[in-house]
Structure 1
Amino acid sequence: MRPNTRILALFFLVLALITGGSLAVASSDETVSPPEADKPPVPESLQSPRATAGSFLHAMNDIKRGKPERIEDALQTLDLSGVNPLVRRERGTDLAWMLLEIMDKTRPVVLQRVPDRKEGKPWVFERYASGEVRISRLDDGRWLFDKETMEAVPAILEEVAGRESKVRGLENTRWLPLHIRISRQLPDWMRDRGLILQNWQWLGLLLIIAVGVVVDKLVQGLARLVMKRWLKHFPSVTQRIDDADQRLRPLGLALMAFVWWLGILVLGLPEAVLLVLLVAVKLLASIAAVWTAWRLVDVISALLAEKAAATDNRVDDVLVPMVSRTLKIFIAVGGIIFVADNLNIDVTGLLAGLGLGGLAFALAAKDLVQNFFGSLTVLMDRTFTVGDWIIVDDIEGSVEEMGFRSTRIRTFYNSLVTVPNSRFITADVDNMGARRYRRYKQKFGVTYDTPPEKIEAFCEGLREIVRQHPYMRKDYFQIWLNDLGASALEILIYVFWQTPDWTTELRERQRFLLDAIRLADALGVAFAFPTQTIHLQSDENPGKPGDAPSLEEARALARRITERESRT
């Protein structure tokens, strides 16, 4: 066992001691009897000493005949109020078999001789040096093997251990608890008690611990070998998880605790020791099992994430983290219930207690439900996915993570904004990442002294750049001399890029602009910058109206220009 595993096991042991002490229910000899009208009816099987003795013996005999479920009927005849609730069933089962062994070694029980009264003093089966076996009437009217009898049963069994059975037909003792059968075969010195336990119990405890450690090592090595062979078929899982081959490590810990659990029940330990050890082992086994399932979810998530990455659909990239988180929540809730059940905590009562705050819980869960339906809306409508550049109201950035409750957006200031999913039900979401094309609209200004022929050549050269560019849309673009600006001749550039992300768009935009600059330099086209030219007109030589061409001359000049354009 590794050092950290030992520390973990010791932690569970200490925690179990604290839990066992805090959850122990101390029984009091002085109990307040409920009013007569509120008392439940006494079962017929417990209405008299004869009925109780008969119920106990019949139930134990049925168990011998292969009906183990009858142990519950046998336990109902025992007053186990002095036994801690955490180990009441386990300890009660041992006490039932011990009591039967004592009665068999004392004398056969003739039920007709057992009193059938419903009230009166206790019926004593037999008195021993260590105590007595008797059936007493409780305040609620039930006749049970009383609390004092249950406390004296272990000592009485040791007292009568050397006697022969007085009941015929008991040569086959396979129905007896294992610790009783073992104790029968051991020499007297092994049954001597030292430091709380008998000698053979100390040896058995040591053997069980050793067996558990060996099982842990074997399972750990086998699980690691199986995981390594499996991971050879899925190398991507190893890349996503550092210790993928050790994901089943807690499984060995769980099986070790399970071996200890069975061993502790076999040894027939006293209640005080059984309480401490059994609570510790139950807690260790339960948490180790939950831990194993928790770590397996990471492996499954890595495998699903790899399969999702291989598809073009990005919705499954969002679903994988959600599925992983859902499974972990389910495991956590199930683990709590599992641990509580193993510690004999009344989960039903706990859940019923939560119903007292049902209204407050419903109000608190209102936002949770809205967020859940908001996440479903995003997934079903495919509003956006992880990696998309979106604008939601005044928030702009790329989607970094999507959950059932909220979505995290990384802004361009590198801050992280958490947006409740309920907001997406009514908000206007501008998904910039869903654009098929990324538009670029600009006006290139060239100087006014640029000849028209060069302008035409420059525009056609820009169109050819678009045709040759690998990322630019070829079926639709506009490049024309568009306007006579205040300080330049303006050429409209209206083009589109088909790029998957913003980084690629910026890179390809730079490529286009540099190509445009090189083309202008090769053609001798100069880009203009805002300038103003002031012309000073002299009044000494004003223009004469006769210097301007007539309207007819202007029309003829325009016709010649257009005819030349049509010929070219």
Structure 2
Amino acid sequence: MGDHYALWTNIGFAFLVILAVLILNKIVDRILVPFINREASAGNIWRNAILESLNPPVHGVIWIVGLTLAVGFLTRDGGFTLLSGFFPPARDLAVIALVVWFLLRAVGRMEIGFQARAKNKGQDIDPTAIDAIGKLIRAAIIITAILVAMQSLGFSISGLLAFGGIGGIAIGFAAQGLVANLFGGLTIYASRPFKVGEWIIMPGTEVMGEVQSIGWRATRVMGFDRRPFYVPNAMFNTAVLINHSRMTARRIQEYLHLRYRDIDKVPAIVADANKLLSEHPGIEHDFFVFQMDSYGDFALKMFLYAFTQTTDYNEYMSIKEDILLKIGNIVRAHGGELAVPTSTVHMPDGLSFQKSGPTPEPFLQGLAESPQSA
């Protein structure tokens, strides 16, 4: 009878502890949340990240303490032996998990805070570098937590490290591609040939578009036709890469064809076209070319080579269109014409064409005669 009474007394105490935990969590919500909101407005990134990450883990700590007390009451008189053997390692793992949760939340909020502060101050910050540092810190936190958890469960850390040295060789051979992609991602973060939001092209492949994310295994590139490419990071260690977002100017390179009969007008056309380029506000004036290049199959080949001051594609096309139209006007102003592919047939004397065959339909005959009447 006394043992039965003691058991129910312990269960009652455990129930009261759980009730106290629920009440304490409500009190913490009423006190901690307004305190965090008030202090977070001060603008300190580190303090804000810690405070904003604190609320859920604090609730977890309260529950762990409460459950520890409750289990202590339940197992005080030798009861619930299975619970007394299971709870201590579970509690240790829960504490490790809470610490990891808190640290990961803090790292994430620090990333957001640094980016927000740079945006508010109008500063240019590299999101790729922030993402890389955040991933490395997260990886270090998780690896450390796993080692601590294994040690708390009774595993030997030295034995695990020795096994890792031997097993790492086998794993390395079995996962060469994965390891290569991992180091390829680290190379991207270290050398930064591109970052998220930039436009890249990989010659010899179909990969071209905007970099949307850089992962540990692959980089996601959204193509110009809105198809996503998932490029293994190992490719960036050896592949040639063109970063369009870092160009300083766009190139205009065109051939214009002038009739052979206008060869005497070439010097004047070239002079006026070069004057146009030298005065055009959209062209870089340190280097440009408009000259006769060669004798083509059907026309004189005039070569246009210049760079625009803008890298925006729409502005580039507008500048290019404006220059081509104005050069066309210069050609016409000098009495010349732009040539199109033509062929000249020389007929021997006395030889002529003669119509033969059935008479065409009236409407076809009218179509054939209409250009002459015009």
TM-fit CA distance, 1:376: 4.9
1:215 aligned partner, one-letter code: V
**1:138 matched residue in structure 2:** none
Aligned-partner SS, 1:479: strand
Taking structure 1 as reference, are residues 380 and 334 closer, same or farther at Cα in structure 2, changes over 3 Å only? closer
Q: For residues 136-181 of structure 1, give each alpha carbon's deviation from its aligned partner in whole angstroms, at most 9, with x where no partner exists.
A: xxxxxxxxxxxxxxxxxxx6xx9xxxxxxxxxxxxxxxxxxxxxxx
Number of aligned residue pairs: 336
Cα gap change, 1:525 to 1:305, in 2 (>3 Å):
farther
**Which structure 1 segments of 5+ residues have no match?**
1-128, 131-154, 159-191, 235-244, 541-568
Shift of 1:210: 0.9
Q: Secondary structure, in 3 states, of the residue corresponding to 1:472?
A: coil
For 1:260, what is the secondary structure of its paired residue?
helix
Question: Please, which of 7, 22, 25 is the counterpart of residue 212 of structure 1?
Answer: 25
2:202 is paired with a residue whose SS is strand
Q: Does the CA contact (< 8 Å) of 2:14 and 2:74 recur in 1? A: no
Partner of 2:73: 269
1:393/1:427 contact within 8 Å kept: no
Distance in structure 2 (CA, Å) of the matches to 1:339 and 1:261: 17
Residue 351 (1) aligns with residue 160 (2)? yes
2:94 is the counterpart of 1:290: no
> Structure 2 CA distance, aligned partners of 1:381 and 1:277?
48
Matched, 1:536 2:328: no
Is the counterpart of residue 414 in structure 1 residue 226 in structure 2?
yes
SS of the counterpart of 2:220? strand
> C-alpha deviations, 1:18-75, integer Å up to 9, x for none?
xxxxxxxxxxxxxxxxxxxxxxxxxxxxxxxxxxxxxxxxxxxxxxxxxxxxxxxxxx
Which residue of structure 1 lines up, in the alignment, with residue 39 of structure 2? Answer: 226
For residues 341-420 of structure 1, the aligned pairs below 5 Å read 344-348=152-156, 351=160, 355=164, 357-364=167-174, 366-378=176-188, 383-386=193-196, 387-398=198-209, 400=211, 401-420=213-232
CA drift at 1:479: 0.8
Taking the aligned partners of 1:298 and 1:514, their CA distance within structure 2 comes to 54
- Identity among equivalent positions (%) equals 22
Is residue 477 from structure 1 mapped to residue 274 from structure 2 by the alignment?
no
Change (3 A) 1:522 1:323: farther
Change (3 A) 1:265 1:412: closer
CA drift of 1:529 comes to 1.4
Give the structure 1 partner of residue 259 of structure 2: 447
User: 1:330 maps to what in 2?
Assistant: 140
Q: Distance in 1 between matches of 2:258 and 2:139?
A: 64
Contact 1:484 1:490 in 2 (8 A): yes
CA RMSD of aligned residues (A): 4.2
1:424 to 231, 236, 254: 236
1:83-122 aligned within 5 A: none
Could you tell me whether the CA contact under 8 Å between 2:49 and 2:109 is conserved in 1?
Answer: no
Q: TM-score scaled to structure 1, two decimals?
A: 0.49
Structure 1 counterpart SS, 2:276:
helix
> Do the aligned partners of residues 335 and 319 (structure 1) sit closer, same or farther apart at CA in structure 2, a change above 3 Å counting?
same
1:510 maps to which of 321, 346, 349: 321
Mapped to 2, the partners of 1:318 and 1:370 lie a distance apart of 20
Alpha carbons of 1:274 and 1:457: their partners in 2 closer, same or farther (altered >3 Å)? farther
Secondary structure at 1:225 match in 2: helix
Deviations along 1:69-101, one digit per CA (max 9) or x if unpaired, are: xxxxxxxxxxxxxxxxxxxxxxxxxxxxxxxxx
1:525, distance to aligned residue in structure 2 (A): 4.3
Give distance in 2, aligned partners of 1:529 and 1:391.
Answer: 36
Partner letter of residue 322 of structure 1? A
Secondary structure of the corresponding residue to residue 197 of structure 1: helix
Output one character per residue of 1:190-237: Cα deviation in whole Å (capped at 9) or x when no partner: xx647462545543442233113312442233223333443xx88xxx
Give the letter aligned to residue 495 of structure 1: A
2:73 counterpart SS class: coil
Following TM superposition, by how much is the alpha carbon of 1:363 offset from its aligned partner in structure 2, in angstroms? 2.2
Bigger Rg over Cα: 1
Whole-Å Cα distance in 2 between the matches of residues 213 and 282 of structure 1? 25
Q: What displacement does 1:323 show?
A: 1.5
- Partner SS state of residue 440, structure 1: strand
Contact 2:209–2:223 at 8 Å: present in 1 too? yes
Q: Which amino acid aligns with 1:270?
A: L
Residue in structure 2 matched with residue 492 of structure 1 by the alignment = 303
